[in-house]
Amino acid sequence: MKILVSNDDGYLAVGIRHLRAAMLELGEVTVVAPDRNRSGASNSLTLEVPLRVFEAEPGVKVVTGGTPTDCVHMAVSGLFDFDHDIVVSGINDGANLGDDVLYSGTVAAAVEGRFLGLPAVAVSLCTSPDGARHFATAARVAQRIVRRLQAQLLQGQLPDRPLILNVNVPDLPFEALRGLRATRLGNRHRSEPMVEMRDPHGRPVYWVGPAGEGEDAGEGTDFHAVAHGFVSVTPLQIDLTRHQALEPLGRWLEGVDG
């Protein structure tokens, strides 16, 4: 199996090195990653300027100025003379729970793999500023999930539409994990206000405020699973249509026509 590994924290991040090592036990691994941290890049694709690629070490290609989506798009769409079988993104340094998936470059890399016809897994370690940062735990979890997908792939048992799995791993020793749970996305409270500061010249600069805590974080959500020591595995889909609103919207639009 040929595994494409990417991330949004950059090719030098601790997480991607753990992930690469774990994936090397399952097949041939190619890393294509940004040259620096691109957290929060979401699904952005670079269209107005050309991108440069250099090889940092054998099997590790770096896209200068590129986003996670750029990296996966290039890797699958012509950077290599072979095809990949699966995209694995991460290990992100921080959670990607609930609303986070809309901003996350880690998830976006997986989504781009799905756009291009490949099954994809996004892996995040739910770190905190004073946490232990058990990246080895997340790597073992990723390896087990990908091994399971590998077996299904070899047997032709994967769904017709490639899936995206969003995996969030508690920052615990592997032996302390309570298991894996299939979850839905929760959602967060509104983010904290932006933070205004001053540069050395006294001019105002602004930082985006911290993300809010979980609001919809009850039983069955990704927030709940991680908070109780379980690995959260959420299947994602591309279709953002609110299907149950189509019929009432149609009736509402009749009033607009009038």
**Is residue 80 assigned to a domain?**
yes
96 occurs within a structural domain: yes
How far apart CA 75 and CA 248 sit, in angstroms, is 43
pLDDT reported for residue 81: 93
239 assigned to some structural domain = yes
In a domain, 197, yes or no: no
User: Is residue 231 within 8 Å of 169, Cβ to Cβ?
Assistant: yes
Distance in angstroms (rounded) separating the CA atoms of residues 73 and 45: 9
Q: pLDDT at position 214, please?
A: 60
The pLDDT, as a whole number, for residue 217 is 67
Q: What is the mean pLDDT of the chain?
A: 91
Over 80: is that where the pLDDT of 212 sits? no
CATH of the domain at 173: 3.40.1210.10
Q: Is residue 208 part of a domain?
A: no
Q: Does 211 have pLDDT greater than 80? A: no
Q: What is the pLDDT of residues 137-182, one digit of tens each?
A: 999 999 999 999 998 877 777 766 678 999 999 999 999 999 999 9
Assess if residue 207 is contained within a domain: no
Does the residue 199 lie in any domain? Answer: no
Please name the residue that has the structure tokens 């291009």.
116
The domain tally of the chain equals 1
Q: How far apart are CA 144 and CA 183, in angstroms?
A: 18
Terminal Cα distance for the chain, rounded: 58
Percent of the chain with pLDDT over 70: 93
Residue 70's domain comprises 2-187+214-257
Flag whether 193 is in a domain.
Answer: no
